[in-house]
Structure 1
Amino acid sequence: MEELIAKKYIKALTDDFDIESIQNSADIFSVLADSFTDEKFKSIIISPLVSSSDKESILLDAIKSASSDKINNFIKLLVENKRLDIIPAIAKELKKDIANSTKTYTGIIYSDSDIELKVLEELSHGLSAKFNSTITLLFVKNDFNGIKVEVTGLGIEISFCKDRIDSQIIEHIIKAI
């Protein structure tokens, strides 16, 4: 639900922006979204006991180095409409919009065994060519018994599970006998 509301606010914010301005806005909102991971900050911003003007001044002080009247007015609008809780969703949606407009995505490869840098680059290049985008893959070692590739911005998920492949080979051999 927050994503839908955030998209409407983002549309209003970025109507007259070029890609560089949108990137700057995304950076600003990413910093604000990171602040929401601090429980003290979050409790102050969400608290009904703290006045709207105090919340507004806290947020405007946090972004004053951006020197953007449009961003300042946008923050005031969020305070006025009591929508400060969607700032993290706004940051996330702005990043998605930038990725879609520049066709630049980041994906993650999960596996329980190490993957060489050369293999990562080949997979990135292959996926980039397949989807006509620039895809950068990062490796995360975990307990997944196989390989799993996720590029959430494109909605791609590819996985090869060793246990499943082993069971399918056994089934195939049994059917062949």
Structure 2
Amino acid sequence: MNELIAKRYAKALMEVASAEELKASLTALRAIQKSLEEKELAEIVASPLVSGEEKFSLVVEPLKGKLPEKLFNLLHLMSEKGRLNLLPTLAEILSFELKREENRYEGIVEADEALSEKELKRIAKVLKHYSGAEVQLKQVSESGDGLYVAVEDLGLELSISKSRIKADLLDFIQRAL
């Protein structure tokens, strides 16, 4: 439910702001989101006992000159409606929409050995051919039994397991005999 409400706020911001303003807004939202990780501030934002105006004066108003004007106005509206708790969801939705507009996504690779930049670029090239999107890959671990590639925002997941290939090959040979 919260995601649907946050999507409406994100859509409104995207309709009135330019691409550069959206990037600046996303950076500001990430900074606010980081500050909301502090226990006291998170409790204030989540508390139904604190009014929207008090939340606004504590969380958003001190940032008046530092935030893009359209984002500031949106946050003011969100605080009036008691929706400041949606800031992390709003940031995620805005991030996804910016990636979608630029057609650039990030993905992870897990392999049983370290892959070179050249190999990562080859995998990214194959993913671009398959999905039509620019994909930036980074290797996160050197464990496992093969290769695992995931681009969460595109819904792509690829897994190649050496033990699975070996088992399938042995099964095929046994059935052939």
The alignment's TM-score, normalised by the length of structure 1, stands at 0.89
Deviates further, 98-107 or 32-41: 32-41
Describe the SS at the equivalent of 1:66: coil
Counterparts of 1:77 and 1:57, CA distance in 2:
13
Residue number in structure 1 paired with 2:91:
91
Q: Kindly tell me: are residues 40 and 67 of structure 1, through their superposed partners in 2, closer, same or farther at Cα, counting changes over 3 Å?
A: closer
Q: Residue 78 of structure 2 aligns to which amino acid in structure 1? A: L
- Measured on the aligned residues, the alpha-carbon RMSD in Å equals 1.9
Residue number in structure 2 paired with 1:48:
48
How many corresponding residue pairs? 177
Residue number in structure 2 paired with 1:11:
11
What are the equivalent positions in structure 2 for 1:118-133 lying under 5 Å apart? 118-133=118-133
Describe the SS at the equivalent of 1:79: helix
Counterparts of 1:39 and 1:143, CA distance in 2:
35
Counterparts of 2:81 and 2:175, CA distance in 1:
64
For the 8 Å contact 1:111–1:143, the answer to whether it is kept is: yes
What are the equivalent positions in structure 2 for 1:70-149 lying under 5 Å apart? 70-141=70-141, 143-149=143-149
Give the gaps of 5 or more residues in structure 1: none
The alignment's TM-score, normalised by the length of structure 2, stands at 0.89
Q: Kindly tell me: are residues 38 and 173 of structure 1, through their superposed partners in 2, closer, same or farther at Cα, counting changes over 3 Å?
A: farther
Q: Residue 172 of structure 1 aligns to which amino acid in structure 2? A: F
Counterparts of 2:100 and 2:20, CA distance in 1:
14
Q: Deviations over 1:11-61 (max 9, x none)?
A: 112212221121111111122222233333211211233343231022224
Residue number in structure 2 paired with 1:171:
171
Give the gaps of 5 or more residues in structure 2: none
Q: Kindly tell me: are residues 16 and 51 of structure 1, through their superposed partners in 2, closer, same or farther at Cα, counting changes over 3 Å?
A: closer
| Cα drift, residue 85 of structure 1 | 1.4
Counterparts of 2:159 and 2:109, CA distance in 1:
9
| Cα drift, residue 92 of structure 1 | 0.4
Q: Kindly tell me: are residues 46 and 129 of structure 1, through their superposed partners in 2, closer, same or farther at Cα, counting changes over 3 Å?
A: same
